[in-house]
């Protein structure tokens, strides 16, 4: 599964997930060809599509991720994709008593 983070010039970044089996180099090359266009471009991915003008994109980060996607309700759950990093801290709920 690939994580695609599209950074836009005048907006927040958008993250898409794609189940394409090509390696990163082939995937990146194919994606960069769509950005040669001066008109509106549609980026299709497994998790959805993004309609954007290529001149509004400041950068695109493509990484391999281990994601479980539930296509029935279009949600995704992140599994730890980077084995070198520490897992997130455990969440603990504490009761706060106020008088």
Its pTM surpasses 0.85: no
DSSP codes of every residue in the chain = -EEEEEEETTS--EEEEE---S-HHHHHHHHHHHTT-SS-EEEEETTEEEEE-GGGEEEEEEEE--EEEETTTTEEEE----TTSPPPPPP--------
pLDDT tens digits, residue range 6-62?
A: 999 988 999 999 998 889 999 999 888 878 888 888 889 999 999 999 989 999 999
Residue 16 within any structural domain of the chain:
yes
Q: Is the pLDDT of residue 73 over 80?
A: no
Residue 6 within any structural domain of the chain:
yes
User: What is the domain range of residue 51?
Assistant: 2-68
Residue 67's pLDDT band (cuts 50, 70, 90): low
Number of independent structural domains in the chain: 1
Residue 90 within any structural domain of the chain:
no
Range in 28-32, 55-59, 76-80, 89-93 with the lowest mean pLDDT: 76-80
Residue 40 within any structural domain of the chain:
yes
């Amino acid at each position: 599964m690939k994580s695609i983070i599209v950074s836009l010039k005048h907006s927040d970044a958008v993250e898409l997930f794609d189940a394409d089996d090509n390696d990163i180099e082939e995937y990146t090359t194919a994606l960069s060809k769509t950005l040669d266009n001066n008109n509106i471009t549609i980026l299709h991915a497994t998790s959805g599509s993004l309609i954007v003008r290529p001149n509004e994109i400041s950068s695109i980060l493509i990484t391999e991720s281990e994601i479980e996607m539930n296509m029935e309700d279009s949600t995704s759950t992140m599994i730890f994709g980077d084995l070198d990093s520490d897992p997130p801290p455990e969440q603990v709920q504490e009761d706060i008593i106020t008088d």
